[in-house]
């Protein structure tokens, strides 16, 4: 026996790496169908984008950006304040790629397109499958654009830089940059989601009101993406109550604004992206929106970023499902491939149905952002927070199940499954926790009672085709119509969950193949479904066709 043989304790077999070097768009039949349905003419560009994202190179960049997290440098060598954030080059690769494909602003590049928001959602969805952290500045920049468009003077100054597809990583004044990013600052220590408890104060330098300069003093407990070129910040004024302000990192005279980063948050996931605590010490800001309407102004931005949470969580589900199916088609256990084992098939089918339902709902909501008809408005107002609640919360649970498919290999930090699992909770918390989303659904209904009637009338047109859906719709409408305000709030999680599942079922009934829609309805309205993944009856699902549809590799 030679030395090599003597010390070779085992040979590696029946072990398989995560799927890479594949086209995320070409292998996703559901996404292709959705884009065709909404009239997308952007599929060639998306195919090219998806090929880059799926490359080994960009999977490696995603790993590097999350292992080598941002570093804060508060001072230079002589003690001068600089508050500079240093990122690994891999972060800049991802930021540059998404900027190139306008993930931050696509709908505003093509305002006349009837599929602009769906095509944006596809970009966000594809990118978010591999690296989620950089989607935070993309999301906030996207959501800020409609607000800035309402401020003619400010829009004239920065619109070209906001919409630019050329990435500029330099930390210099806006006037010197080719492109810029915008962030958001709402949360304070004492208030959290209760923004009305904010204590940060804004005092006018001379005149008060919209478009005027203020000096801002206070703090933000969560200040997202502090390296952004400017932030939209909520602060209270002495006379007009809470207002929203555009607060740049640099002033026009070339000096840094008085925004002091105290520290970066050491987060469970979302490691590649920086989140911080900051103090404002007479920082200059310009009031945007009307005085006294700071919360409605910033909530307009949040409506877009909440949509990004649903699309982003759907992306996590899609990537994790793809990896599970690819892995189980190769890994053998008990004499055959895992994907051929009935119990594993039950798990995979359940995950595939849930993933498609999340995609159908998220993309349909994106489509609603392109329209101002009565139904689209009702869906945006009610279903955006509802989808954010349900899809994001389900992603936390389901990514744990998906990680388990890989066994111990899924639990180690060397692969994408663990990263997705740790990333998943961020979307349930950012832009409003689950309880806040449920309360927003109730507020939307209470403010405009006709909106829930419009929504249910639309759902009824499809629900009439299925007795299970029809009974559920009638039961839900009765509850929404008869409960007192306190009763409705106590039951809000139940009501919102049921509303989302019903909407998902109806979208599948309307747009998905019959074998998918029927399987979803039969399993989601089963007595046992939801206690754990995989508790389904094989008689009501077409296992082979559902799994074949889920991944075309």
Please report whether residue 538 resides in a domain: yes
Q: Six-digit token pair at 81?
A: 């304040």
- Give yes or no: residues 301 and 233 share one domain: no
Query: Would residue 9 count as lying in a domain?
Result: no
| Class of residue 501 by CB neighbours under 10 A (exposed 0-12, middle 13-18, buried 19+) | buried
- Single residue among 128, 163, 198 that ends a domain in this structure: 163
Note whether 117 and 143 are within 8 A (CB): no
Q: What is the DSSP letter of 277?
A: E
Burial of 497 from C-beta contacts in 10 A (0-12 / 13-18 / 19+): middle
For residue 308, being part of any structural domain is answered with: yes
Residues 193 and 67 reside in one and the same domain: no
Tens digits of pLDDT across the chain (553 residues)? 565 566 666 788 888 899 999 999 999 999 999 999 999 989 999 999 999 999 999 999 999 999 999 999 999 999 999 999 999 999 999 999 999 999 999 999 999 999 999 999 999 999 999 999 999 999 999 999 999 999 999 999 999 999 999 999 999 999 999 999 999 998 898 877 777 788 999 999 999 999 999 999 999 999 989 999 999 999 999 888 999 999 999 999 999 999 999 999 999 999 999 999 999 999 999 999 998 999 899 889 999 999 999 999 999 999 999 999 999 999 999 999 999 999 999 999 999 999 999 999 999 999 999 999 999 999 999 999 999 999 999 999 999 999 999 999 999 998 899 999 999 999 999 999 999 999 999 999 999 999 999 999 999 999 999 999 999 999 999 999 999 999 999 999 999 999 999 999 999 999 999 999 999 999 999 877 777 999 988 888 999 999 999 998 7
> Which residues neighbour 6 within 8 Å (Cβ) at sequence distance 6 or greater?
none
Residue 243 belongs to some domain of the structure: yes
- Supply the pLDDT for residue 439: 96
Q: How many folded domains does the chain comprise?
A: 3
Query: Where a domain ends, among 269, 291, 313?
Result: 291
- Is 392 in the same domain as 421? yes
**Boundary-marking domain end, from 291, 314, 340:** 291
Domain match, 366 and 400 both: yes
504: in domain: yes
In a domain, 168, yes or no: no
Inter-residue contact 377 to 453 (CB < 8 Å): no
Kindly tell me the sign of the dihedral angle through the C-alpha atoms of 527, 533, 539, 543. positive
- Longest CA span, the chain: 89
Assign residue 358 the CATH number of its domain: 1.20.140.10
pLDDT score for 195: 78
Other CB atoms within 10 Å distance of the CB of residue 448:
15
φ, ψ of residue 475 in degrees (nearest 5): -65, -45
User: Distance (Å, rounded) from C-alpha 536 to C-alpha 177?
Assistant: 55
Helix (H) or strand (E) holding 57: helix 56-67
Residues 133 and 240 in one domain: no
CB proximity list for 434: less than 8 A, separation 6 or greater: 389, 392, 393, 428, 493
Same domain, 159 and 186: no
Same domain, 264 and 331: no
H or E element at residue 389: helix 374-405
- C-alpha Rg value of the chain to the nearest Å: 24
Same domain for 261 and 312: no
The rounded distance, in Å, linking the Cα atoms of 188 and 278 is: 10
Cα distances (angstroms) measured from residue 141 to each of 184, 229, 473? 9, 10, 37
* In a shared domain, residues 188 and 126: no
The answer on 120 and 188 residing in a single domain is no
Q: Are residues 466 and 508 in the same domain?
A: yes
Residue 356 to residues 148, 171, 363, 364, Cα–Cα distance (Å): 34, 41, 11, 12
Domain that holds residue 34: 29-163
- 75 and 215 fall within a common domain: no
Element (H, E) at 302: helix 294-328
What is the separation, in whole angstroms, between the first and last Cα of the chain?
A: 42
22 lies in some domain: no
Any idea what the CATH number is for the domain that residue 269 is in?
A: 2.40.110.20
What is the spatial distance between Cα 427 and Cα 387, in angstroms, rounded to a whole number?
11
CA 519 to chain CA centroid, nearest Å = 27
**Is residue 265 one of the residues assigned to a domain?**
yes
């Amino acid at each position: 026996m030679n030395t090599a043989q003597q010390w070779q304790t085992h040979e590696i077999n029946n072990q398989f790496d995560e799927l890479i070097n594949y086209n995320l768009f070409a292998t996703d039949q559901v996404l292709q169908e959705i884009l065709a349905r909404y009239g997308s003419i952007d599929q060639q560009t998306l195919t090219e984008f998806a090929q880059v994202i799926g490359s080994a190179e960009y999977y490696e960049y995603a790993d590097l950006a999350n292992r080598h997290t941002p570093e804060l440098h508060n001072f230079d060598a002589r003690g001068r304040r600089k508050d500079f954030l240093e990122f690994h080059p891999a972060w800049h690769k991802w930021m540059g790629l998404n900027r190139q494909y306008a993930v931050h602003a696509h709908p505003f590049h093509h305002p006349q397109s009837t599929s602009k928001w769906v095509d944006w959602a596809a970009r966000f969805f594809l990118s978010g499958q591999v690296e989620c952290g950089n989607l935070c500045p993309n999301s906030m920049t996207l959501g800020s654009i409609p607000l800035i468009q309402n401020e003619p003077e400010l829009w004239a100054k920065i619109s070209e830089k906001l919409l630019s597809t050329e990435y500029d990583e330099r930390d210099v004044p806006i006037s010197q940059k080719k492109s810029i990013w915008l962030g958001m600052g709402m949360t304070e220590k004492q208030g959290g989601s209760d923004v009305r408890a904010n204590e940060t104060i804004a005092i006018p330098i001379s005149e008060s009101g919209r478009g005027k300069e203020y000096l801002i003093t206070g703090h933000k407990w969560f200040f997202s993406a502090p390296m952004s070129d400017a932030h939209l910040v909520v602060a209270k004024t002495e006379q007009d109550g809470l207002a929203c302000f555009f607060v740049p990192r640099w002033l026009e005279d070339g000096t840094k604004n008085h925004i002091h980063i105290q520290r970066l948050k050491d987060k469970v996931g979302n490691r590649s992206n920086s989140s911080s605590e900051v103090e404002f010490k007479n920082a200059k800001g310009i009031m945007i929106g009307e005085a006294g309407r700071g919360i409605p102004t910033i909530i307009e931005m949040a409506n877009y970023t909440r949509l990004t949470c649903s699309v982003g969580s759907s992306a996590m589900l899609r990537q994790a499902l793809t990896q599970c199916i690819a892995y189980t088609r190769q890994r053998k256990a008990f004499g055959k491939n895992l994907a051929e084992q009935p119990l594993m098939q039950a798990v995979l089918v359940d995950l595939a149905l849930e993933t498609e339902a999340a995609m159908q709902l998220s993309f349909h909501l994106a489509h609603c952002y392109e329209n101002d008809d009565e139904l689209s408005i009702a869906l945006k107002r009610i279903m955006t927070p509802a989808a954010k609640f349900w899809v994001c919360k389900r992603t936390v649970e389901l990514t744990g199940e998906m990680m388990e498919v890989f066994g111990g290999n899924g639990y180690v930090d060397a692969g994408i499954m663990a990263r997705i699992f740790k990333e998943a909770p961020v979307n349930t918390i950012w832009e409003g926790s689950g309880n806040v989303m449920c309360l927003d659904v109730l507020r939307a209904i209470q403010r405009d009672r006709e909106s829930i009637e419009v929504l249910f009338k639309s759902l009824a047109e499809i629900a009439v085709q299925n007795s299970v859906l029809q009974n559920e719709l009638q039961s839900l409408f009765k509850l929404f119509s008869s409960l007192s305000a306190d009763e409705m709030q106590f039951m809000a999680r139940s009501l919102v969950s049921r509303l989302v599942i019903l909407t998902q079922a109806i979208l599948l009934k309307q747009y998905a193949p019959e074998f998918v829609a029927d399987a979803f309805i039969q399993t989601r309205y089963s007595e046992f479904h939801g206690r754990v993944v995989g508790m389904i009856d094989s008689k009501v699902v077409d296992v082979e066709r559902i799994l074949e549809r889920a991944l075309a590799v």
